[in-house]
């Protein structure tokens, strides 16, 4: 963890710079997979399943019996924990439902906006070093609350076996259409559809750089995606009220995601920073994923600042995916957050809580995208449609406004669509 | 307008097929412009202003005096109309403000979602055959209500002159930073920033195919955009209660946008369809933009169906940008709308009203994107940040759930961030 003491504002950009992905090379690797799935459909999926996942089965659709088996096999304490997390996630996302309000903008002119579920959505759940069954909850629950008609799930099946926790979570959420396919080929299948896998309107879910690149291709082909993606990140702002042991644990929990994880600590206290560095070393000693975490920590930054406000300014500039405010009066400081994905306040609010079970979503904007993007929420599975209904009095009032503006924009056809109606109304009256 | 009588559902896809853009060729034309602006900044902007807009001025920023002049020059009736439209747009978008609600998902676990404005946004306003000053209102008003810190506007200046109505609308909305630059070069300038033009986090606004392609490039570079774009569209569902003259006028008002405009009429009445075709011919006779409209109408479709429900099914499949329901009981039919950008109900609700003045936004999803995308609304200028605060009791309750799930996902670091805290709490108590 490299320490930067009171860095010059001009130097901050360099300190906070994120890794840049080799665009062209990645695209060249993903494109042939994409094209093959588009052209050959299921045949390409079977070929990739064989070569990438040692899965020789010709069956792509998961058999419902496999779900039943997984549900029976799951450890009962874990099942209870998953159900408890699911209940919180459901509670938080259900509270995001909005009411339709009719606004009478001019007497007789009624306008409203209605949230309607996206019909077909596809969820991608990776299952490499960490089988992310928690993501099944984070995507599946809001999709169900939104009322999406068709929710499909793709996940890789090494040697034709899908992780049972993923199946348990899917079953709990009510997802029935599960396909055994991973990587860029899964994204392509959902973007174009194959004989077996339906085409969807929006694709959700995390993945490695091939998956995220494939999602960008999908977007270029008119399929919506949840978020552009980058390596996971945490930025912690801490003062002397914080327990260095907690800070170290929070930094490590981020670092263990991947060697490219971004980890930043900002504090007005050098004592805290030094103490956190020592605790990190201690805690890493017996961590199972220590090698991954150590690589990420080696790239991480500690920044010594003069005030907490200065720390917040830097954080807003960085726009972290996760922001932990481990300070006295974290509530007050939190009102100054402008750019962040999800914010954790106080000593007893570790990021892990939001990753799994508090109820907030863990699919969040990385790579500085928090400046313009929201994390996944209920609205991510819906779209707003506007409606308007104008009565005769309304058009008599509004019509001349439209006529004047259409004329000035040189769109006579637009003007006439109103004028013809006004003429009829004048004849009638 | 080609008539398709009760088409076979299998043939519908072909009938409703939209034009496909030559992707590669377009990218090859836009990429050098993009790269030049990225590398050379203002110098490239000045070069393109000279060659594309015959603008030899070295000044890119609009002088405030030009705004003052425009405000003084504008026709007073038009000014009144624009102000009236602006008031409706403001009323409708202000009603979209949301409250922050704290949800206690588990006793002691408090989660909430807060809408925060996007700091820097860029608006692009084209000014070719039709100077779209109405779009200044449609983008500028919600940006102001959202509270965006920096709102910039780029618009082309043929021979160094910006359309005065655009300047009047910008002044009304309160936009002060206006730059004289159009096309793909304007989008690139806002995506990367130049010496003069600031980099923004999100780019809004319509444009020709070069502009929309440049926006896709911006998106690949991490800058958010309002919507992917395609040619403008209207689909009208009408029964015998409709006035064919109104239907013809509404179809033409869409067709006059561009030769690639998509125009579709669906009706259970062949009499209405035939009558509309005759009225279109009549109305086109003296339309200023008749040539453009005629080309679009030549490509347009009339579909004869058996029932209004069948018409609605086809519309939902097509997912039109604008949907006009000119039928008896349009209210009832409107509850069946699943995919559309903006919906207009009844005889006296022409699309023109929403294009200019009723209050709804006219920046809408085209090209079938209404299946997954919303039109621009207040939320387009904001992002949601989630917050959580867990007290000691909350963590004692939630902690074991997080521990169990983190363990099952093989993320021991995540588990420990909780376990360390629970240990401290147990020692304390």
Query: Which positions in chain B touch A118 (Cβ < 8 Å)?
Result: 371-372
Determine the residue among B408, B415, B423, B424 to mutate to test chain A binding: the one whose Cβ has the most chain A Cβ atoms within 10 Å: B408
Quickly list H helices, B101-202. 133-146, 164-173, 183-192
For residue B245, the chain A residue with the least C-alpha distance is: A420
Number of Cβ within a 10 Å radius of residue A43: 13
Do the Cβ atoms of A109 and B356 come closer than 8 Å? no
**Once rounded to an integer, what is the mean pLDDT over residues B269-279?**
97
Residue B76 has what pLDDT? 94
For residue A386, the chain B residue with the least C-alpha distance is: B342
Query: Which positions in chain A touch B118 (Cβ < 8 Å)?
Result: 371-372
CA A380/CA A383 separation, integer angstroms: 8
Q: Measured between CB atoms, which of A80, A134, A253 is closest to B413?
A: A253
Q: Measured between CB atoms, which of A330, A398, A425 is closest to B357?
A: A398
A319-333 pLDDT per residue, tens: 999 999 999 999 999
Catalytic entry in A233, A321, A351, A362: A321
Residue A429 has what pLDDT? 77
Instruction: List, in order, residues 6 or more apart from B197 with CB less than 8 Å away.
Output: B42, B45, B60, B152, B154, B179, B181, B189, B190
CA A288/CA B160 separation, integer angstroms: 65
Query: Which positions in chain B touch A388 (Cβ < 8 Å)?
Result: 342-345, 349, 353-354, 358-360
Domain B23-225 in CATH 3.40.50.300 = no
B341-382 pLDDT per residue, tens: 999 999 999 999 999 999 999 999 999 999 999 999 999 999
What ranges do the domains of chain A cover?
A: 23-225, 230-372, 392-428
Closest-CA distance, A139 to chain B, in angstroms, reads: 16
Q: A134-143 b/e with 16+ CB inside 10 Å = b? A: bbbbbbbbbb
Residue A145 has what pLDDT? 98
**Once rounded to an integer, what is the mean pLDDT over residues B281-297?**
94
CA A42/CA A48 separation, integer angstroms: 10
Determine the residue among B387, B399, B415 to mutate to test chain A binding: the one whose Cβ has the most chain A Cβ atoms within 10 Å: B387
Please give the residue that has the higher pLDDT: either B26 or A206. A206
CA A21/CA A27 separation, integer angstroms: 11
Do the Cβ atoms of A418 and A403 come closer than 8 Å? yes
User: Which structure tokens are listed for A210?
Assistant: 């091939």
**Once rounded to an integer, what is the mean pLDDT over residues A366-380?**
96
CA B375/CA B369 separation, integer angstroms: 10
**Once rounded to an integer, what is the mean pLDDT over residues A351-355?**
97
CA B20/CA B7 separation, integer angstroms: 22
Active site residues per annotation of B: 321-322
A340–B392 CB contact, under 8 Å: no
A409–B82 CB contact, under 8 Å: no
Q: What's the first-to-final CA gap in chain B, in angstroms?
A: 80
A174-198 pLDDT per residue, tens: 999 999 999 999 999 999 999 999 9
pLDDT tier for residue B22 given thresholds of 50, 70 and 90: low
B58-97 pLDDT per residue, tens: 999 999 899 999 899 899 999 999 999 999 999 999 999 9
Please give the residue that has the higher pLDDT: either B2 or A391. A391
CA A154/CA A189 separation, integer angstroms: 9
Instruction: List, in order, residues 6 or more apart from B426 with CB less than 8 Å away.
Output: none
DSSP state of A41: T
pLDDT tops 70 at residue A22: no
Do the Cβ atoms of A401 and B85 come closer than 8 Å? yes
Question: What's chain B's Rg over C-alpha atoms?
Answer: 26
Out of A134-143, A357-366, B11-20, B287-296, least confident range: B11-20
**Once rounded to an integer, what is the mean pLDDT over residues A11-23?**
80
A405–B255 CB contact, under 8 Å: no
User: Which structure tokens are listed for A176?
Assistant: 């029935």
**Once rounded to an integer, what is the mean pLDDT over residues B408-426?**
95
Residue B267 has what pLDDT? 97
Instruction: List, in order, residues 6 or more apart from B146 with CB less than 8 Å away.
Output: B117, B118, B378, B381, B382
CA A112/CA B343 separation, integer angstroms: 10
pTM: 0.96
Residue B26 has what pLDDT? 84
Residue A229 has what pLDDT? 84
A224–B373 CB contact, under 8 Å: yes
Out of A147-151, A413-417, B18-22, least confident range: B18-22
**Once rounded to an integer, what is the mean pLDDT over residues A289-314?**
95
pLDDT tops 90 at residue B203: yes
**Percent of chain B having pLDDT more than 70?**
99
Q: Measured between CB atoms, which of B222, B330, B365 is closest to A228?
A: B222
Residue B188 has what pLDDT? 98
What number of residues does chain B have?
429
B359–A405 CB contact, under 8 Å: no
Same fold, A23-225 and A230-372: yes
Helix (H) / strand (E) containing A403: helix A392-408
A347–B410 CB contact, under 8 Å: no
Closest-CA distance, B395 to chain A, in angstroms, reads: 7
Q: Residue A113 to residues A16, B93, B346, B360: CA-CA distances in angstroms?
A: 40, 10, 17, 9
Instruction: List, in order, residues 6 or more apart from A205 with CB less than 8 Å away.
Output: A123, A124, A125, A126, A135, A139, A211, A226, A363
Out of A33-37, A217-221, A240-244, least confident range: A217-221
As a dihedral over the C-alpha atoms of residue B88, residue B91, residue B93, residue B99, rounded to 10 degrees, the angle is: -170
pLDDT tops 90 at residue B340: yes
Query: Which positions in chain A touch B383 (Cβ < 8 Å)?
Result: 365, 370-374
Residue A26 has what pLDDT? 84
For residue A222, the chain B residue with the least C-alpha distance is: B369
CA B299/CA B213 separation, integer angstroms: 24
Domain A230-372 in CATH 3.40.50.1980 = yes
A201-213 pLDDT per residue, tens: 999 999 888 999 9
pLDDT tops 80 at residue B21: no
CA A80/CA A71 separation, integer angstroms: 12
Clarify whether A322 is annotated catalytic. Answer: yes
B384–A375 CB contact, under 8 Å: yes
Instruction: List, in order, residues 6 or more apart from A152 with CB less than 8 Å away.
Output: A120, A121, A122, A123, A175, A177, A178, A179, A190, A197, A198, A200
pLDDT tier for residue A200 given thresholds of 50, 70 and 90: very high
Determine the residue among B409, B410, B422 to mutate to test chain A binding: the one whose Cβ has the most chain A Cβ atoms within 10 Å: B409
- Report residue A80: phi and psi, to 5°: -65, -45
B219-235 pLDDT per residue, tens: 988 899 999 888 899 99
For residue B24, the chain A residue with the least C-alpha distance is: A220
**Once rounded to an integer, what is the mean pLDDT over residues B108-128?**
96
Average pLDDT, chain A: 94
B375–A386 CB contact, under 8 Å: yes
């Amino acid at each position: 963890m490299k320490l930067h003491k009171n860095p010059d504002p001009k130097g901050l950009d360099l300190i906070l710079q994120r890794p840049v992905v080799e665009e062209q090379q990645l695209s060249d690797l993903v494109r042939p997979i994409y094209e093959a799935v588009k052209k050959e459909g299921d045949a390409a999926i079977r070929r990739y399943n064989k070569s990438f996942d040692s899965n020789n089965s010709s069956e792509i659709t998961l058999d419902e019996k496999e779900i039943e088996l997984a549900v029976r096999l799951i450890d009962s304490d874990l099942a209870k924990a998953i159900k408890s997390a699911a209940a919180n996630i459901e509670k938080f996302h259900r509270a995001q439902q909005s009411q339709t309000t009719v606004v009478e903008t001019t007497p007789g002119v009624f306008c409203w906006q209605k949230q309607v579920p996206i019909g077909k959505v596809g969820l991608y759940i990776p299952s490499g070093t960490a089988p992310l069954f928690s993501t099944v909850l984070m995507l599946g629950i809001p999709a169900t609350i939104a009322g999406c008609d068709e929710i499909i799930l793709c996940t890789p099946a090494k040697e034709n076996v899908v992780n049972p926790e993923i199946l348990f979570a899917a079953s709990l959420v009510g997802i029935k259409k599960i396909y055994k396919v991973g990587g860029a080929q899964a994204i392509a299948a959902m973007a174009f559809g194959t004989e077996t896998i339906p085409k969807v309107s929006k694709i959700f879910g995390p993945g490695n750089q091939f998956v995220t690149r494939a999602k960008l291709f999908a977007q270029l082909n008119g399929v919506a995606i949840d978020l552009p993606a980058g390596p996971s990140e945490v930025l912690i702002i801490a003062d002397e009220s914080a327990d260095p042991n907690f800070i170290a644990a929070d930094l490590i929990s981020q670092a263990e995601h991947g060697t490219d994880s971004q980890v930043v600590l900002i504090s007005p206290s050098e004592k805290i920073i030094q103490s956190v560095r020592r605790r990190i070393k201690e805690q890493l000693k017996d961590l199972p994923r220590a090698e991954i975490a150590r690589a990420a920590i080696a790239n991480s930054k500690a920044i010594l600042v003069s005030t907490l406000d200065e720390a917040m300014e830097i954080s807003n500039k960085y726009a972290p995916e996760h922001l932990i405010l481990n300070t006295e009066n974290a509530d007050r400081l939190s009102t100054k957050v402008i750019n962040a994905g999800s914010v954790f306040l106080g000593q007893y609010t570790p990021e892990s809580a939001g990753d799994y079970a508090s109820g907030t979503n863990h699919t969040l904007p990385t790579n500085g995208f928090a400046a313009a993007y929201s994390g996944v929420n209920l609205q991510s599975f819906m779209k707003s449609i506007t409606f308007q209904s104008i009565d005769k009095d309304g058009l008599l009032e509004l019509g001349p406004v439209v006529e004047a503006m259409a004329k000035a924009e040189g769109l006579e056809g637009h003007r006439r669509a109103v004028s013809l109606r006004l003429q009829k109304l004048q004849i009638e009256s």
